[in-house]
Amino acid sequence: MKIALFGATGGTGRQLIRQACEAGDEVTAVVRDPARLTESHPHLTVLRGDVTDPATLRPAIEGCDAVVSALGSRDGRVPTTVCAAGTAGIAQAMRIVRVRRLVVVSAGTLTTEGDGPLTRLIMKPLLGNLLKHTIADKRRMEEVVRASGLEWTIVRPPMLTDGPHTGAYRSAVDRNVRGALRVSRADLADCILQCLLHNEPINAAVSIGY
């Protein structure tokens, strides 16, 4: 599989590179500053690109089987549009070169469907206030994805950790995993690659966690 990856310099992006390349996939990582990406692998290509300028993304996306966006803000305390604006640029470039499969990383805080009372009534409101700028950006990103006309999957993790790759996470479609408070970036990457490998679910959101 040929994958174009955005957000490659973050923790999830680095895990995606390692797991995809080890599985034999060809990964093209699109970054603003190639010097920030220290990973190397025979199956990895690094290209410079600007997610707000679709013209710069075409060489990376053209000929790929799928696109993955792990974009995110490094400081959730300040207003940001990196996910919404970046995803809009990616989707536009995908339509131009006729690549249709898209998987994006969102946030489990965007919905309470499937949550227990403690999470729904106490934890989510607290997180919603603390991470309001990140959540607002992710919400707008999901709107962009749903209106894109592409074959998309939204993956919604809870709190991310640097724990090991276990493959022992739970998942649910269009609802949160009850009681799941965290998941490792390694297992998030595993879930994303499974969505691509099995090409499902299409036009739906997947929540994961332990």
| Superfamily of chain region 2-209 | NAD(P)-binding Rossmann-like Domain (3.40.50.720)
pLDDT, tens digit (0-9, with 9 covering 90-100), for 76-117: 678 999 999 999 999 999 999 999 999 999 998 777 788 887
Q: What is the pLDDT, as a whole number, of residue 124?
A: 77
In a 3-state reduction of DSSP, which class is residue 186?
Answer: helix
C-alpha 160/C-alpha 183 separation (Å) is: 5
Q: What is the pLDDT of residue 112?
A: 78
pLDDT tens profile 45-56: 999 999 989 889
Domain ranges across the chain: 2-209
Q: How much is the average pLDDT of 130-151?
A: 94
Query: Is the four-CA dihedral 37, 6, 73, 96 of positive or negative sign?
Result: positive
Q: What pTM was estimated for this model as a whole?
A: 0.93
Residue with tokens 């106490």: 122
- Res 19: pLDDT: 98
| Confidence band for 16, pLDDT divided at 50, 70 and 90 | very high
- Check if the beta carbon of residue 192 is closer than 8 Å to that of residue 10: no
Please give the mean pLDDT across all residues of the chain. Answer: 93
The tokens describing 90, both together, are 């990616």
